[in-house]
């Protein structure tokens, strides 16, 4: 027989989700991983074009080979380097200075201002802006301009080199694809985090159900909808019987597990469109859109049987739980959330007595 209990490790992980600090750390690690992957693949992309540009240049194969080995080793090292859990600007920005140096060398040996590789600065500038702030992005832009200018002034090897226009076009489009990859990865993660933040703002951390504030908002929305459509809905107010005795006998930790257990049983027994929330300590509220009072009573009886047939186990022994509940229908038994809750609460206590 199922007990509907949760793993303790999962509970701890769930609670850690509800802090801004944990979200920020996850965001930083995720962004770092995205750019580590992009750096490695983009280095390979640049190497392909470096090999393609070799017939147009006068530098030695040794220089080209050395740059390829250096940049590849750097990309692999940065990929497998463990991410720092905290990012500080400007100290960590300078750790990425080697990205600009490699691109600067690449621009230098491929013709300075005539080179198409200066477009590669887009990736580290984008990374600095996203990972840190706009100030870091502007600093990266300044470095790119500085290195490009210096390479153009100092280049005596490949002056007057000309590449086919296709080199500029294809390399630029490819760089845009890598930039889009970075932005897509970031936005996808941001969307996921915003969704989790929203869920945490409307749910009860103990049970994972909606909290009472969200339930009241949904009731108000149903009232407005029913006024437009001339329809009705019902609510069910549920309370555990003698729950104080459970806390007194077994302690509050067991009491919390009992609450989670009951919440899981109730959640598994409601329809998909119904809104179940934890209203208070051992109280639950169920919103039934488009349901009349007689059907709400049938639903209440079904929920009571479900909880009774799934007792919570303490040290292998079943702890049978009693429930009481009351229903209220809009608009015949209340015109606002307070009136509906009062009616359902009165019916529940009449059944308790």
Q: What is the pLDDT of residue 319?
A: 85
Whether 175 and 110 map to the same domain: the answer is yes
Max CA separation in the chain (angstroms): 97
Using the 3D structure, point to which of 200, 220, 243 is the last residue of a domain. Answer: 200
Q: Is 138 helix (H, G, I), strand (E, B) or coil?
A: helix
Residue 212 pLDDT exceeds 60: yes
SS (H, E, C) 4-67: CCCCHHHHHHHHHCCCHHHHHHHHHHHHHHHHHHHHHHHHHHHHHHHHHHHHHCCCCHHHHHHH
Report the C-alpha gap between 23 and 110 in whole angstroms: 43
Residues present in the chain in total: 353
Task: At 9, list the tokens.
Answer: 């490790």
Whether 147 and 46 map to the same domain: the answer is yes
Whether 220 and 339 map to the same domain: the answer is yes
Whether 55 and 122 map to the same domain: the answer is yes
Using the 3D structure, point to which of 200, 231, 265 is the last residue of a domain. Answer: 200
Residue 261 pLDDT exceeds 80: yes
Whether 73 and 180 map to the same domain: the answer is yes
Report the C-alpha gap between 297 and 98 in whole angstroms: 70
Q: What is the pLDDT of residue 20?
A: 56
Task: At 125, list the tokens.
Answer: 């500038």
Task: At 291, list the tokens.
Answer: 């349901």
Residue 254 pLDDT exceeds 60: yes
Q: What is the pLDDT of residues 130-171, one digit of tens each?
A: 877 888 888 889 988 888 888 777 765 555 677 889 999 999
Whether 112 and 34 map to the same domain: the answer is yes
Q: Classify residue 13: in a domain, yes or no.
A: no
Long-range contacts of 91-99 (CB under 8 A, 24+ apart): 92/132, 93/128, 93/132, 93/136, 93/139, 93/140, 96/124, 96/127, 96/128, 97/143, 98/74, 99/39, 99/123, 99/124, 99/127
Residue keyed to tokens 């077994």: 250
Whether 145 and 34 map to the same domain: the answer is yes
Span of 52-61, 220-229, 318-327, 340-349 with lowest mean pLDDT: 52-61
Which of 220, 215, 257, 261 lies closest to 236 in space, CA to CA? 215
Whether 167 and 294 map to the same domain: the answer is no
Domain that holds residue 240: 210-352
Query: How open is the CA angle 283-288-291, to the nearest 5 degrees?
Result: 135
Report the C-alpha gap between 224 and 201 in whole angstroms: 23
Q: Classify residue 28: in a domain, yes or no.
A: yes
Q: Which of 61-75, 130-144, 172-186, 217-231 has the highest mean pLDDT?
A: 217-231
Q: How many domains does the chain have?
A: 2
Residue 17 pLDDT exceeds 50: no
Q: Classify residue 205: in a domain, yes or no.
A: no
Q: Classify residue 11: in a domain, yes or no.
A: no
0.75 exceeded by pTM: no
Please spell the DSSP secondary structure of 148-217, one letter per residue: HHHHHHH--SSTT----HHHHHHHHHHHHHHHHHHHHHHHHHHHHHHHHHHHHHHB-TTTSSEEHHHHHH
Using the 3D structure, point to which of 200, 232, 259 is the last residue of a domain. Answer: 200
Q: Classify residue 6: in a domain, yes or no.
A: no
Q: What is the pLDDT of residues 277-326, one digit of tens each?
A: 999 889 999 999 999 999 999 999 999 999 989 888 888 888 887 889 99
Q: Classify residue 9: in a domain, yes or no.
A: no
Residue keyed to tokens 């930790």: 253
Render the burial of 266-288: b for 16+ CB within 10 Å, e for the rest: beebbeeebbbbbbeebbbbbbb
In the chain, the N- to C-terminal Cα span, in Å, equals: 31
Whether 72 and 175 map to the same domain: the answer is yes
Task: At 95, list the tokens.
Answer: 């750790």
Q: What is the CATH number of the domain that holds 325?
A: 3.30.70.270
233-240 and 323-330 beta bridge pairing: antiparallel
Q: What is the pLDDT of residue 118?
A: 87
283-289 and 312-314 beta bridge pairing: unpaired
Q: Classify residue 10: in a domain, yes or no.
A: no
Q: Classify residue 221: in a domain, yes or no.
A: yes
Whether 252 and 140 map to the same domain: the answer is no
- φ/ψ region of 160 (left if φ > 0, alpha if ψ in -120 to 50, else beta) reads left
Whether 85 and 141 map to the same domain: the answer is yes
Q: Which of 59-68, 151-160, 183-192, 319-328 has the highest mean pLDDT?
A: 319-328
Whether 43 and 143 map to the same domain: the answer is yes
DSSP 243: H
Tell me the pLDDT of the chain averaged across its residues.
Answer: 83
Output phi, psi for 166, to 5 deg.
Answer: -60, -30
Given pLDDT bands bounded at 50, 70 and 90, which one contains residue 10?
A: very low
């Amino acid at each position: 027989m199922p007990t509907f209990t949760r793993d303790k490790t999962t509970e701890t992980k769930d609670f850690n989700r509800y802090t801004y600090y944990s979200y920020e750390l996850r965001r930083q690690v995720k962004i770092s991983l995205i750019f580590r992957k992009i750096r490695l693949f983009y280095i390979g992309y640049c190497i392909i074009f470096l090999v393609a540009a070799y017939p147009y240049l006068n530098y030695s194969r040794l220089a080209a080979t050395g740059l390829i080995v250096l940049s590849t080793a750097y990309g692999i090292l940065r990929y497998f380097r463990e991410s720092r859990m905290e990012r500080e600007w400007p100290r960590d920005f300078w750790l990425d200075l080697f990205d600009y140096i490699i691109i600067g060398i690449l621009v230098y040996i491929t013709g300075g201002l005539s080179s198409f590789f200066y477009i590669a600065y887009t990736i580290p500038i984008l990374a600095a802006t996203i990972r840190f702030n706009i100030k870091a992005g502007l600093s990266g832009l300044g470095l790119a301009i500085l290195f490009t200018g210096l390479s153009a002034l100092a280049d005596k090897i490949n002056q007057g080199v000309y590449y086919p226009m296709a080199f500029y076009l294809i390399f630029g489009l490819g760089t845009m694809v890598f930039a889009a990859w970075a932005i897509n990865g970031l936005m996808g993660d941001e969307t996921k985090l915003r969704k989790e933040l929203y869920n945490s703002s409307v749910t009860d951390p103990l049970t994972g159900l909606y909290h009472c504030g969200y339930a009241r908002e949904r009731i108000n929305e149903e009232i407005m909808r029913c006024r437009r459509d001339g329809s009705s809905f019902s609510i069910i107010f549920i309370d555990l019987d003698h729950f104080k005795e459970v806390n007194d006998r077994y302690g509050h930790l067991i009491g919390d597990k009992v609450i989670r257990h009951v919440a899981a049983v109730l959640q598994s027994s409601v329809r998909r469109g119904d809104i179940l929330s934890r209203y208070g300590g051992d109280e639950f509220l169920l919103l039934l859109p488009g349901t009349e009072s007689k059907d709400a009573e049938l639903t209440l009886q079904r929920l009571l049987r479900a909880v009774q047939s799934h007792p919570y186990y303490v040290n292998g022994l079943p702890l049978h739980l009693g429930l009481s509940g009351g229903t209220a229908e809009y608009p015949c038994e209340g015109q606002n959330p307070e009136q509906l809750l009062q009616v359902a609460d009165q019916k529940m206590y009449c059944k308790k007595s």
